[in-house]
Amino acid sequence: MPASPCCGSASAIVADALSGYHVLKIVGYSRSKDEKKNGECIGSRPFRVGGHTWQALYYPKGFDYKSTDHISMYLQFLNDRKPNRKQQAVTVKAQVTLSLLDRDGNPVPSHSLTTTNAVNFSTDRYWGYPQLIKIDDLEKSEHLKDDCFTVRFDVSVMKGVRTEESVPFVVVPPSDMHRHFGDLLSSKEGADVKFQVGGKTFPAHRSVLAARSPIFKAGLYSPMKEGAATGIIQIDDMEAEVFDALLTFMYTDEFPEMGIGEESAMAQHLLVAADKYNMERLKLVCEDKLCKHIDTGSAAAMLALAEQHNCRGLKEACFEYLGSSRTLNAVMETSGFGHLAKSSTNVLKELISKVFPR
């Protein structure tokens, strides 16, 4: 009698979590330090992670007597609502990483802390880093710029344990379409149109550009457009490096990697190009990057750019940065503010009304 076939199966025990983060920017650090005593805090706006409400607590002169010479940061769990008699109280456990960010927006390893185990916020209510950084060290560091510094709270809320089937036999990798299109651009294979920009020639593919931009589509497939038939199109209002970055994004959907100073300048140029060619995603990518580069020297120019190209998020970020009279006075000394006053009187009036409300 033949042996019965051997049957097998596999499963996994999975601990689920919902993750999110909150970035807290301290604007007007010196003023906050002057206004608060040891043990007194300033709370952030409540934010949601994992279906629950949280708040960041900032102690400019330390959480307690052991941290009087330090900046302290805490995460507080806020009850969404009290359970009624028929409902059981929900246990909320989370793992937290609290990090001081450098000027590039990256965590500073020496000033970052992660919970060893999940914290039961249902009973402990809050958790934090009483000695995030010494006050003297912060004031001497490059992390404090224009009287501002930034902290990030990464929160992973535990959602219980479940069982499921083990890893599938076939694992589908993430899409690498962007890499293939990038190779197509760099190889120039099948290119059917050329652009002349700043003395440089850029071969490209009409179908790709038309799919990414309705303005390119209208221009490339209209026989009335100059260069559309011959395959050579002159671009006079853009530098070659900017057009190269624009093409790269159109093929790969990625912003080119570069240094922090170069990134800010490139993002401004690409935002203008994205607005011209009706590329909304690129415009938002540039807007998001520029929100992280606002400082005394650039705030006025950023605000003028936001007003000219209808960038609501960048405009609000500039207003928030200029929210104190001290910061505004410093920006008013720059040449960019003079240009803003001449070219964008409406946004200037709006700024003044926000900083000095009646």
Token digits for 281?
């995603």
d(CA 17, CA 92): 11
The values of phi and psi at residue 313, to 5°, are: -65, -45
- Tens-digit pLDDT profile for residues 109-126: 999 999 988 899 988 888
Helix 345-355 with 299-308: angle, nearest 10 deg: 120
Task: For residue 152, list its beta bridge partners.
Answer: 23, 99
Find out whether 334 and 308 touch, Cβ atoms under 8 Å.
no
The stretch 226-239 carries a mean pLDDT of 76
Long-range Cβ pairs for the range 225-229 (8 Å, 24+): none
Please give the torsion angle defined by the CA atoms of residues 182, 185, 190 and 194, in that order, rounded to the nearest 10 degrees: 160
| pLDDT band (50, 70, 90) for residue 79 | confident
Cα 78 to Cα 53, 85, 115, 139, 193, distances in angstroms: 5, 20, 19, 32, 58
Percent helix / strand / coil, the chain, rounded to 5: 40, 30, 35
Cβ neighbours of 351 (radius 10 Å): 21
CA-based radius of gyration for the chain: 27
The structural domains of the chain, ordered by start, are 18-161 (2.60.210.10), 176-258 (3.30.710.10)
Beta-bridged to residue 17, according to DSSP, are 158
Token pair recorded at residue 128: 């934090």
Starting at the edge strand found earlier in the chain, the sheet holding 232-235 runs 200-204, 193-197, 232-235
* Partner residues linked to 59 by β-bridges: 72
Token look-up 């790269």 returns 248
Q: Indicate whether 185 pLDDT > 90.
A: yes
pLDDT digits (tens, 9 = 90+) for 272-302: 999 999 999 999 999 999 998 888 888 989 9
Report the C-alpha gap between 357 and 73 in whole angstroms: 31
Phi and psi at 101, nearest 5°, equal -100, 145
Report the candidate in 237, 251, 269 with the shortest Cα–Cα distance to residue 203: 251
Q: Which tens digits make up the pLDDT trace of 2-50?
A: 555 566 566 666 667 788 999 999 999 999 999 999 999 999 999 998 8
Distance of CA 333 to the CA centre of its chain: 29
213, pLDDT greater than 90: yes
Identify whether the C-beta of residue 97 lies closer than 8 Å to the C-beta of residue 126. no
Confidence class for position 339, pLDDT limits 50, 70, 90: confident
